[in-house]
Homo-oligomer: A and B are copies of this chain.
Amino acid sequence: MTEKQPASRIRRSPEQVRTAVHQAVIDLLSDPEGEGLTIPAIAGRAGVNHTSVYRRWGSLEALLADTVTTRLERDSPLDDTGSLRGDLISWAEGSVASMGTPEGRALVRAVVLSMPNSAQAQDERGLHFRRRMRSIEQIRERAEARGEEAPPVEQILDQLIAPFYIRAIFGIDVPTTGYPELLVDRLLGGVRGPDPA
């Protein structure tokens, strides 16, 4: 394979390159008539050598996981609202809104789409979830520092994260209002027991 010249020769910081590569992934995903989603196509669109992309991310799977996770982290910041319930609702609202856009849906599906059934791919698919879970860990730690009881991470995965991911992946509509609150209240209701009347 011949090495393509970068489309842009302006010197960019590693962070600028990362942003350009992420944007190229998103552009290619959003363009159904576009080239296939391959590292050479992504590198060409971002104006970087594809060898740099391989060196930095290692595989298309890892690059996709990094792109989708970075986008979701940007859209669901870890606000300290003063309570576990508020923090989880804020985080889930950002995630649900981000995954509700055509771009967000395409990104989430791309994480699944890109993965063959190999063990290595499974690890890289896991990357996305491990990073999402770190956000959840931070929210839990903040709650515990406040003296609040927090459900285990696995329960947050099952009761808060799984419902809106599965809806994004399968194209099932999310209830228009109050969905993050509904999921969080079910999650916390199951841990705290009923509120005193």
What residues make up the interface of A, taking CB atoms closer than 8 Å to B? 32, 102, 105-106, 109, 111-113, 115-118, 122, 125-126, 128-129, 154, 157-159, 161-163, 165-167, 169-172, 175, 183, 186, 189-190, 193-194
A186 to chain B: which residues have CB within 8 Å? Answer: 158-159, 190
Which has the most chain B C-beta neighbours within 10 Å: A106, A116, A129, A163? Answer: A163
A115–B169 CA distance with the chains assembled, in angstroms: 10
Q: How many copies does the complex hold?
A: 2
Q: From DSSP, what is the main secondary structure of chain A's interface residues?
A: helix
In the complex where A157-B172, A170-B125 touch, is A32 in contact with B162 (Cβ < 8 A)?
A: no
Which one, B115, B118, B183, B190, contacts A189 given CB within 8 A? B190
A118–B33 CA distance with the chains assembled, in angstroms: 12
A112 to chain B: which residues have CB within 8 Å? Answer: 109, 112-113, 169-170
A181–B170 CA distance with the chains assembled, in angstroms: 25
In the complex where A165-B162, A170-B129 touch, is A32 in contact with B183 (Cβ < 8 A)?
A: no
A167 to chain B: which residues have CB within 8 Å? Answer: 162
A154 to chain B: which residues have CB within 8 Å? Answer: 175
The residue of chain B having its C-beta at the shortest distance from the C-beta of A190 within the complex is B186
Which one, B102, B105, B129, B172, contacts A172 given CB within 8 A? B129
The residue of chain B having its C-beta at the shortest distance from the C-beta of A121 within the complex is B171
A159–B172 CA distance with the chains assembled, in angstroms: 15
A181–B68 CA distance with the chains assembled, in angstroms: 33
Residue contacts A-B, CB under 8 angstroms, 14 given: A32-B118, A106-B117, A109-B117, A112-B170, A126-B172, A128-B170, A129-B172, A158-B162, A158-B186, A159-B186, A162-B162, A166-B166, A169-B169, A190-B190
